[in-house]
A and B are shown apart, each in its own frame.
Chain A
């Protein structure tokens, strides 16, 4: 909402009241604000692309404020619908709008509606809707499924979509697109405006904003270009750069000095573990007792709100945070952004850098701190991409079928629908433009009876087609259950961390003496599974001792130990983006460009070229070497962790089949390493193992199918789809103990369904999700095509310099490739011999 000092322009497009308000502040409307006003008045949907700090929000709302002042005397319902991905943002925007509204004395009532809005107010909002309703995709979906939706939305004239670039490529974006198609059907006059950060493919968002049945296939586009180029430095150090790891401990002194030298600093880390570590290290150095706070998604909400408030009031010198602060509220005072570890992608870097200095004319200032040797190159690549203004492609994908299933049921909860009419409405939403009529019929059938070929559930149908040809819900219970399950965000199972109030009872941690106490936040269940009572770990900036797991809470006490025993927990790891990966590959593959790198990194690459080979561009460097009684094969793909993980799984299967006896593998962002018992150099040398065959694209056929079918990842994906589609119901806190008869594990459902109806719509949805999100199939495919006939195999007698970082990751990753039975057999053997004294023959 910051506005520039005036270059004088004609103020006539604004009504007097607005003109006076602008003039009183010495402001003048920006060209983009006037452009949006023009489009709105002409009834044209528009996309505004602007860097942070350009006054996007006011631009989005100005036409609404003017329209409400000029055209509407009395309040007759929702005029403007605003949707943001973040609750906090909706609340903040409401607050920011109150000021001009109050100062101009506009007759406009603005209200937010989020999951936190009290039930009484929600009811009132339906009876007496505000002029402007500020909400989230989930709340909008709930309103769409309300029988009063028609009345509530028919008055809408303007729809404002904030941070559209962040929403559109996700399942929440699919949900929003469907809900908005409904809004458009109910309020045909509504004009849409999308607000977005700079994106690589604006046309995708422009297409997203319009109903192609009613005119242009793309919305209008308004751009605010430029602003000053950011000032991005990369931390250079005299200290020894670590080979691997992500702590960046060596640079904490420098980060502390930077905090001291600036007014307010945001310190971004990629994972919670990294943030925890940085926060603790900074406090150890904090001789001046600077107010430095911590903010990440696992911390208690109350705690996070406190930090945000303190930040808003300018009481903090620094906040160490994760992606939780990537989007959202503007803090004008931030004058430095520190990125700990590689930003992994240029869009993320630009987004974070943009958090500093929300004034368009001044450069944002940022410092990137590489955590290890390889990250130096990555950081250089990301900086170069960011300075070129290059955005990562985050494309809008075909809409998910599970989300559509949820929507179809929701529409039925709102009132009877005609299948053909709803199909036309659904396909007017960009993500579903390519949906076929028969796919849609499958989704409707799924919503009704599960859509199984064996049509045995007709009598239990949730929605039925009545004599008039319309689909209706079978009973009110259906709507009740649908409301409980709306949404597309499936959280990993987390457990509350509770600081036991009283010291542990003597002789045991589970006594009632330890009950009660403050909730510190939440951690993922799988992390708890790795610990045993007595272990210490870092959380919320302190070292805690794990005492007990009681029901679904983790009881902890403060520990006096110096270093946590369980070093980290993962969370929010991000893969390297394609564009940055390509730049890294170019940089490493071109020795002429190594001169720009720090001496330690240069030396490392020189040694690599001498002992093995630099990973040249357009080649896939593959090394084989023995180490500690095992044989390794390392492939330097530079395709990111997800793609490498997928590749690792597939190559391991193939090596198993070639009797190369692979034991496991580890995948990093730039390479993957597989180890086993057979001498791979010898096998390849003797022509018994062909690398070309090993890396052949045909692995994406049967091997991929077979692996996906049985992988745990596929089951997890299926579970999410099953919950979103409403096949099984979400579990809520307190419901966990409903017992073994009440819930059915989705793994079991998956196994049965895959066997009997492998083409069922939910399996299709799960496969699509896995292919694009979790296994990065596209990148694997592109890479395999690119390196065909360009494999460079270098057999070595020992580990190469470039392989050191990836091999240091071994042991930090879960074991792959080995069948569960092998693990069970390994652990069980001794016991079988002695068990019961009469074991198997």
Chain B
């Protein structure tokens, strides 16, 4: 973090090497191995698919329409993060699990530069837009193909988790986040929520917040004894059992 990058030289001080990032853990959902990246994306090595949820592109301009002038750089930031991931994983397909745009008018408000960025990311690979409640219609003029939901081996990919047991379901929508207390200090981070049977991805978008996994919205989805929140740190992903998590 402040290794060799700092331009000030202090005699008698030796810059330390930056710590090696922890390798991303591999989770298993319904027997399928999935790599949980600290960015909040999920990689399925067998098919080479990279899954991201809740990009909420153009959320900034959506707020601006109503008079809250949030910085108009959220789409650029989100696509930039995605671009970095594609460099690492080089996936054959990218699957966006719904709410890819914050509202139906989002694709039309996309700045030309961002539209080009998006097209560059899509080049040479499959790109799938799963429908979400914010964007039930396929995003016009944004390439890719659109689906209501889809299957990936034993996995079912959809935006909103269904009520009751759903083995093999990979969903988004809920924006899971978890809070822990460590040494008197409380930390709240986005997280993957899973019990090994199904999984909910954290929201990937630059302006997306999180809902605490202790919230009632999660209660009916998971088997509590098998539940873990995989919290996103800056350098790694860290697992916590339900009992160790705090409500907000």
Taking beta carbons and an 8 Å cutoff, which residues of A are in contact with B?
Answer: 446, 449-452, 454, 456-457, 460, 462, 477-478, 481, 529-530, 549, 653-654, 656-659, 687-690, 693-694, 696, 698, 701-703, 706, 710, 727-729, 740-741, 743-745, 748-749, 751-753, 755-757, 760, 814-815, 819-821, 823-828, 831-832, 835-836, 838-841
- A456 CA / B109 CA spacing, docked (Å): 9
B154 within 8 A of A: no
- A756-B69 contact, Cβ under 8 Å, with A456-B111, A827-B244: no
CB <8 Å contact, A824 and B71: no
Between-chain CB contacts (< 8 Å), 7 pairs: A530-B184, A656-B2, A657-B14, A698-B10, A752-B77, A836-B194, A839-B26
CB <8 Å contact, B207 and A690: no
The one of B23, B67, B68, B211 that contacts A840, using a Cβ cutoff of 8 Å: B23
- A323 CA / B210 CA spacing, docked (Å): 37
The one of B180, B208, B210 that contacts A827, using a Cβ cutoff of 8 Å: B180
In the complex, residue of chain A having the shortest beta-carbon distance to the beta carbon of B241? A831
CB <8 Å contact, B28 and A696: no
- A827-B247 contact, Cβ under 8 Å, with A456-B72, A460-B67: no
Q: Contact mask B12-51 → A, CB, 8 Å, 1/0? A: 1111100000111111100000000000000000000000
The one of B12, B23, B27, B185 that contacts A688, using a Cβ cutoff of 8 Å: B12
Taking beta carbons and an 8 Å cutoff, which residues of B are in contact with A?
Answer: 1-3, 6-8, 10-16, 22-28, 59, 61, 63-65, 67-74, 76-77, 111, 134, 175, 180-187, 189, 194, 196, 206-211, 226, 228, 231, 233-236, 238-241, 244, 246-247
The one of A653, A744, A831 that contacts B239, using a Cβ cutoff of 8 Å: A831
- Given the complex, which residues of B lie within 8 Å of A727, measured CB to CB? 68-70
How distant is A533 from chain B, measured CB to nearest CB, in Å? 11
CB <8 Å contact, A756 and B71: yes
- A733 CA / B22 CA spacing, docked (Å): 42
CB <8 Å contact, A824 and B187: yes
- Given the complex, which residues of A lie within 8 Å of B236, measured CB to CB? 821, 824-825
CB <8 Å contact, B23 and A841: yes
- A456 CA / B184 CA spacing, docked (Å): 43
- Given the complex, which residues of A lie within 8 Å of B59, measured CB to CB? 744
- Given the complex, which residues of A lie within 8 Å of B14, measured CB to CB? 657-659
Known: A693-B11, A756-B71. 18 other contacts (CB 8 A): A450-B64, A452-B69, A456-B64, A456-B72, A654-B13, A687-B12, A689-B12, A729-B68, A740-B175, A752-B207, A756-B77, A815-B185, A820-B233, A820-B234, A821-B236, A835-B239, A835-B241, A840-B24
Query: What are the 4 closest A-B residue pairs judged by CB atoms, nearest first?
Result: A450-B69, A840-B25, A828-B238, A756-B73
- A693-B238 contact, Cβ under 8 Å, with A450-B64, A756-B73: no
CB <8 Å contact, B11 and A752: no
- Given the complex, which residues of A lie within 8 Å of B71, measured CB to CB? 450, 452, 749, 752-753, 756-757, 760
CB <8 Å contact, A743 and B23: no
CB <8 Å contact, B8 and A702: yes
CB <8 Å contact, B27 and A450: no
- A454-B185 contact, Cβ under 8 Å, with A658-B14, A838-B28: no
CB <8 Å contact, B182 and A826: yes
How distant is A413 from chain B, measured CB to nearest CB, in Å? 13
- A831 CA / B16 CA spacing, docked (Å): 29
- Given the complex, which residues of B lie within 8 Å of A821, measured CB to CB? 233-236
In the complex, residue of chain A having the shortest beta-carbon distance to the beta carbon of B239? A835
- A727 CA / B70 CA spacing, docked (Å): 7
- A690-B26 contact, Cβ under 8 Å, with A460-B64, A824-B231, A827-B182: no
In the complex, residue of chain A having the shortest beta-carbon distance to the beta carbon of B56? A741
Which residue, B59, B76, B184, has most C-beta atoms of chain A within 10 A? B184
CB <8 Å contact, B185 and A823: yes
How distant is B220 from chain A, measured CB to nearest CB, in Å? 18
- A688 CA / B10 CA spacing, docked (Å): 11
CB <8 Å contact, A752 and B73: yes
- Given the complex, which residues of B lie within 8 Å of A741, measured CB to CB? 134
- A460-B234 contact, Cβ under 8 Å, with A657-B6, A749-B71, A835-B228: no
- A452 CA / B180 CA spacing, docked (Å): 36
- Given the complex, which residues of B lie within 8 Å of A840, measured CB to CB? 22-26
- A690 CA / B13 CA spacing, docked (Å): 8
The one of B76, B206, B241 that contacts A748, using a Cβ cutoff of 8 Å: B206
CB <8 Å contact, A832 and B239: yes
- Given the complex, which residues of A lie within 8 Å of B196, measured CB to CB? 836
- A314 CA / B7 CA spacing, docked (Å): 65
- A751 CA / B184 CA spacing, docked (Å): 25
- Given the complex, which residues of B lie within 8 Å of A653, measured CB to CB? 2
Count how many pairs of residues, one from A and one from B, have CB atoms less than 8 Å apart in the complex. 201
- Given the complex, which residues of A lie within 8 Å of B68, measured CB to CB? 727-729
CB <8 Å contact, A745 and B209: yes
- A456 CA / B209 CA spacing, docked (Å): 24
CB <8 Å contact, A477 and B185: no
The one of B22, B210, B233 that contacts A740, using a Cβ cutoff of 8 Å: B210
In the complex, residue of chain A having the shortest beta-carbon distance to the beta carbon of B177? A740
How distant is B114 from chain A, measured CB to nearest CB, in Å? 10
How distant is B30 from chain A, measured CB to nearest CB, in Å? 12
CB <8 Å contact, A755 and B72: no
Which residue, B13, B15, B180, B208, has most C-beta atoms of chain A within 10 A? B13
- Given the complex, which residues of B lie within 8 Å of A756, measured CB to CB? 71, 73, 76-77
In the complex, residue of chain A having the shortest beta-carbon distance to the beta carbon of B77? A752
- Given the complex, which residues of A lie within 8 Å of B77, measured CB to CB? 752, 755-756
CB <8 Å contact, B76 and A549: no
In the complex, residue of chain A having the shortest beta-carbon distance to the beta carbon of B111? A456
- A693 CA / B234 CA spacing, docked (Å): 30
- A477 CA / B68 CA spacing, docked (Å): 12
Which residue, A449, A710, A827, has most C-beta atoms of chain B within 10 A? A827
- A527 CA / B22 CA spacing, docked (Å): 33
- Given the complex, which residues of A lie within 8 Å of B185, measured CB to CB? 814-815, 823
How distant is A722 from chain B, measured CB to nearest CB, in Å? 10
- A55 CA / B165 CA spacing, docked (Å): 76
- Given the complex, which residues of A lie within 8 Å of B184, measured CB to CB? 530, 814-815
- A529-B70 contact, Cβ under 8 Å, with A657-B15, A744-B63, A744-B207: no
- A740-B209 contact, Cβ under 8 Å, with A481-B67, A657-B15: yes
How distant is A658 from chain B, measured CB to nearest CB, in Å? 4
- A689-B235 contact, Cβ under 8 Å, with A549-B247, A702-B8, A752-B77: no
Which residue, A452, A481, A659, A743, has most C-beta atoms of chain B within 10 A? A452
CB <8 Å contact, A824 and B182: yes
- A462 CA / B66 CA spacing, docked (Å): 9
- A690 CA / B14 CA spacing, docked (Å): 12
- Given the complex, which residues of A lie within 8 Å of B182, measured CB to CB? 823-824, 826-827
In the complex, residue of chain B having the shortest beta-carbon distance to the beta carbon of A827? B182
The one of A450, A657, A749 that contacts B207, using a Cβ cutoff of 8 Å: A749
- Given the complex, which residues of B lie within 8 Å of A688, measured CB to CB? 12
- Given the complex, which residues of B lie within 8 Å of A752, measured CB to CB? 71, 73-74, 77, 206-207
The one of B6, B111, B134 that contacts A706, using a Cβ cutoff of 8 Å: B6
In the complex, residue of chain B having the shortest beta-carbon distance to the beta carbon of A688? B12
- A702-B6 contact, Cβ under 8 Å, with A727-B69, A752-B73: yes
In the complex, residue of chain A having the shortest beta-carbon distance to the beta carbon of B16? A659
- A74 CA / B16 CA spacing, docked (Å): 79
CB <8 Å contact, A693 and B12: yes
CB <8 Å contact, B61 and A456: yes
- A753 CA / B69 CA spacing, docked (Å): 12
- A537 CA / B185 CA spacing, docked (Å): 19
- A694 CA / B12 CA spacing, docked (Å): 9
- Given the complex, which residues of A lie within 8 Å of B194, measured CB to CB? 836
Which residue, B187, B189, B239, B244, has most C-beta atoms of chain A within 10 A? B239
CB <8 Å contact, A706 and B2: yes
- A449-B69 contact, Cβ under 8 Å, with A689-B12, A755-B77, A828-B240: yes
- A748 CA / B246 CA spacing, docked (Å): 22
- Given the complex, which residues of A lie within 8 Å of B240, measured CB to CB? 827-828, 831
CB <8 Å contact, A478 and B234: no
How distant is B174 from chain A, measured CB to nearest CB, in Å? 9
CB <8 Å contact, B183 and A823: yes
- Given the complex, which residues of B lie within 8 Å of A460, measured CB to CB? 61, 64-65, 67, 69
